[in-house]
Amino acid sequence: MMAENLTLRYILEFAIIIPAVIFAVLPVLNDLRFKSWLAYVSGGILLVLFVTFGAYLRAKFFFNSAFIMIPYSILFFIVYIMIIDASTGRKLFCFFNSVMLCAFCPLYTVFIMAPLEAENEIWHTAGLFTLQSSVVNTALVLLIGGIFFKTLCVKLPMLMRQKYIDSVWDFLFLVPLFMTVLMLWSIPIHPDLAMVGRLRPAALIFLWLILMMILLLYHVFWWTALKLTEGAKLQQENTLLMMEGKRYEELRGYMEETRALRHDFRQHILVITQLSVAGKFNELQNYLEQFSEGTETNYTGYCDNSAVDAVASHYTAFAESQSTKIEWNMTLPHDLPMKESDYCVVLGNLLENALRAVKKLSPECRNITVISSLLSETIIGLSVDNPYIGKIKFRKNGLPRPDREGHGIGLTSVRNTVSRYDGSMNITAEKNVFSVDIVFHCNAE
């Protein structure tokens, strides 16, 4: 019976690996390079094998837990870096945040169960919890997972997608790293030390306050980023309104010009009639040529949707300023089956990338082609092609690797928008033509 209890304690000791991996993966679940059910099942089986093997080594050779956990942590960290497609700062933050949450549990368990652990003889030789303390430690892991569940599944993933705080992750990971080191260092060498004076009740309160402060810090960070995102969306909407306002002024000028032409049209008909009756055909031809010159207009419509038409007009004017020609082929209706702002942001990001790419070419080669239409009542297709020079390398997520820090954010934003509509995005770079083909499934939003 004693041997069975000891084996169970070894297994419970190493079982913390499983929630640690879950805590690390949840915030970046959408950035996993392998998302098939086979990969998840294989990962789960490997974790169980690692737990079992660690418990076996501990029981067979009486290795110290740190002797096994340290190489385990290094191995898991290397694998984690390889399977997550995110910035280094993001991966470091998620990894050390998971380690911090799991390190809190044995530390807090020592102070909770100190009276019982003080009589635990195995602690002196192997530093192993009693079975009761192992169960308490496991329950604490589940409790912490429940408390931080929304943060790990909702708030942190939302933060990971924000391009406005990219640089923050490069140093924010130091917070969970520091807390992890502090917690591991604070574990008493022997449970008797936790019983000295008022250390135990003070530690139970102080440690819990620290954990709640970390949770509050994450919430404040999330709330701040949420407000920044709302502000950015508001700015995008204001920019779109400005484009629509400018386009409206162009349309109103065109309508005023057309109204004036209709007003004068009777006089022109009278002159044309008189010249025709008099047989003065040379004068009639000259007059018609002058009349045609006076009726020319520069107004061009790109599609029936006013918001998209305004964006197209804006980028056409910008393209002309850098000697670039945009060929438009858009057959979109007045009312889109998706949010106009989402479509316009995607179109704007793609055009900005295309205009930046063709700027490196000679003026005669600066051509961009935009094709968009309804493929069905709820499906919109969008394609943007542009020539380029140089070599484009692609990452494993299908997005091109940026040539400079800060570039490539637009396509990441586009991909996030497309994924919200359960759509697809295909990017190719062949024969010096960069193409982005997108399909929106508008009933998925």
pLDDT digits (tens, 9 = 90+) for 213-240: 999 999 999 888 888 777 767 776 677 6
Averaged confidence pLDDT in the chain:
82
pLDDT tier at 10, thresholds 50, 70, 90: confident
Average pLDDT over residues 431-436: 90
pLDDT tier at 409, thresholds 50, 70, 90: low
pLDDT value at residue 187: 84
pLDDT value at residue 14: 87
Average pLDDT over residues 318-345: 89
Contact 401, 394 (CB under 8 A): yes
362-397 pLDDT per residue, tens: 988 899 999 999 988 889 999 999 999 888 877 766
What is the three-class DSSP state of 212?
helix
239-292 pLDDT per residue, tens: 766 766 666 665 565 555 556 555 556 666 766 776 777 777 777 677 666 765
116-152 pLDDT per residue, tens: 887 777 776 666 778 888 899 999 999 999 999 999 9
Q: What is the DSSP string of 310-342?
A: HHHHHHHHHHHHTT-EEEEEEE--SS-SS-HHH
Contact 407, 388 (CB under 8 A): no
Average pLDDT over residues 60-73: 80
Largest Cα–Cα separation, the chain: 125
Distance between CA atoms of residues 405 and 165, nearest Å: 14
Beta strands at 379-387 and 433-441: parallel, antiparallel or unpaired: antiparallel
pLDDT value at residue 299: 53
175-212 pLDDT per residue, tens: 999 999 998 888 887 778 888 878 889 999 999 999 99
Say what the alpha-carbon torsion angle 164, 169, 170, 176 is, to the nearest 10 degrees: 160
SS3 helix, strand, coil % of the chain, rounded to 5?
70, 10, 20
| 102: Cα separation from own chain's centroid | 26
The identity of residue 202, as a single letter, is: A
Instruction: Please report the beta strands in 234-285, taking only residues with DSSP state E, as ranges in sequence order.
Output: none
Closest C-alpha among 396, 347, 340 to residue 372: 347
Higher pLDDT, 250 or 341: 341
pLDDT value at residue 61: 74
The identity of residue 163, as a single letter, is: K
**pTM, 2 dp:** 0.64
pLDDT value at residue 407: 39
